[in-house]
């Protein structure tokens, strides 16, 4: 699956590549016409690997916990695993090689405000589940004024990838979380016909998330958008 999967703007329906979406979000008129008063936000690109990506905005005085909650809702939550942000400078060659990057752990009281830890151009990491981890990379694309009412809001999301059944050419709707294709590293996937041949206990739905097929993940709170028909 091409990592250049296109995405759709939540405000106006514009479809474009990651690069063009970055430009689009800076000038989308519908985005700026959203209800609510203007406030300072960070615009973030969240990369989940492969075709999966999101553009989100978060108010400057939101907490990392707010981003955590949003990502769990749309992409990650299966059974309440721990999660962790990794923010800080890359280890310097002059430093002790065993030194661990500074980490900001979720769950500590009073996690810092975004404006205290983020700046434009910065990349940082996020891991959901320390066992069967889903690792995300976030990039701060802009610090800007935007109207809105939510602490964290979705701006754009990759179109749902179409995966083929491992037995035929139809598109897959279910996957076998116990068996992986050696070439792609992805779970074996099945159309509605061939799903009959798979072990029922191993089945999970095909969903638009980097956690697809992991642990018991069966989808998030916005799986109906964007529509697959726009592919
Ligand atoms: Zn737009
Ligand atoms: Zn789980
Ligand atoms: Zn099939």
Question: pLDDT tens, 60-98?
Answer: 999 999 999 999 999 999 999 999 998 876 544 444 333
130 — pLDDT class (breaks 50, 70, 90): very high
Mean pLDDT, rounded, of the chain: 88
Among 39-48, 61-70, 79-88, 151-160, which stretch is predicted with the lowest mean pLDDT?
79-88
27 three-class SS? helix
Residue 99 scores a pLDDT above 80: no
- Number of the ligand closest to the Cα of 133: 2
**What global pTM score does this model have?**
0.89
CA of 70 to the centre of ligand 2 (A): 17
Q: Which of 3-7, 100-104, 208-212 has the highest mean pLDDT?
A: 208-212
pLDDT of the residue at 137? 97
- Number of the ligand closest to the Cα of 72: 2
CA of 203 to the centre of ligand 3 (A): 15
- Number of the ligand closest to the Cα of 165: 3
CA of 30 to the centre of ligand 1 (A): 6
Comparison of pLDDT for 146 and 98, the residue scoring more: 146
pLDDT of the residue at 110? 52
Overall average pLDDT of the 208-213 stretch? 96
For the chain, give every residue range classified as CATH 3.10.290.30. 7-158
**What fold does the segment set 7-158 form as a domain?**
3.10.290
CA of 8 to the centre of ligand 3 (A): 28
CA of 80 to the centre of ligand 3 (A): 33
Residue 105 scores a pLDDT above 60: no
- Number of the ligand closest to the Cα of 76: 2
pLDDT of the residue at 109? 46
Instruction: For residue 98, count other CB atoms closer than 10 A to its CB.
Output: 6
CA of 59 to the centre of ligand 3 (A): 45
CA of 196 to the centre of ligand 3 (A): 10
pLDDT of the residue at 34? 77
78/189 Cα distance (integer angstroms): 20
CA of 112 to the centre of ligand 2 (A): 27
Output the CA–CA distances (angstroms, integers) from residue 132 to 17, 160, 205, 211, 213, in the order listed: 29, 23, 18, 9, 11
- Number of the ligand closest to the Cα of 130: 2
Output the CA–CA distances (angstroms, integers) from residue 176 to 39, 81, 109, 208, 219, in the order listed: 45, 22, 39, 16, 15
pLDDT of the residue at 87? 85
CA of 225 to the centre of ligand 3 (A): 25
pLDDT of the residue at 160? 96
CA of 58 to the centre of ligand 3 (A): 41
pLDDT of the residue at 62? 95
- Number of the ligand closest to the Cα of 129: 2
């Amino acid at each position: 699956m091409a990592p250049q999967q296109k995405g759709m703007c939540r405000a106006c329906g514009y479809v474009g590549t990651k690069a063009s979406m970055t430009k689009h979000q800076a000038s989308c008129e519908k985005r700026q016409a959203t209800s609510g008063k203007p406030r300072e936000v960070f615009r973030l690109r969240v990369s989940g690997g492969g075709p999966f990506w999101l553009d989100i905005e978060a108010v400057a005085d939101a907490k990392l916990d707010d981003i955590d909650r949003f990502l769990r809702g749309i992409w990650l939550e299966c059974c309440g695993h721990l999660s962790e942000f990794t923010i800080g400078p890359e280890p310097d060659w002059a430093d002790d090689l065993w030194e661990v990057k500074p980490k900001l752990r979720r769950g500590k009281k009073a996690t810092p405000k975004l404006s205290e830890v983020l700046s434009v151009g910065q990349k940082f990491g996020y891991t959901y589940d320390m066992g069967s981890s889903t690792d995300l990379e976030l990039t701060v694309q802009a610090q800007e004024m935007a109207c809105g009412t939510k602490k964290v809001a979705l701006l754009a999301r990759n179109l749902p990838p179409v995966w083929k059944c491992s037995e035929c050419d139809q598109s897959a709707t279910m996957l076998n979380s116990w068996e992986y294709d050696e070439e792609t590293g992805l779970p074996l996937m099945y159309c509605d016909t061939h799903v009959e041949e798979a072990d029922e206990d191993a089945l999970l739905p095909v969903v638009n998330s980097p956690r697809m097929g992991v642990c018991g993940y069966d989808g998030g709170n916005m799986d109906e958008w964007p529509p697959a028909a726009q592919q």
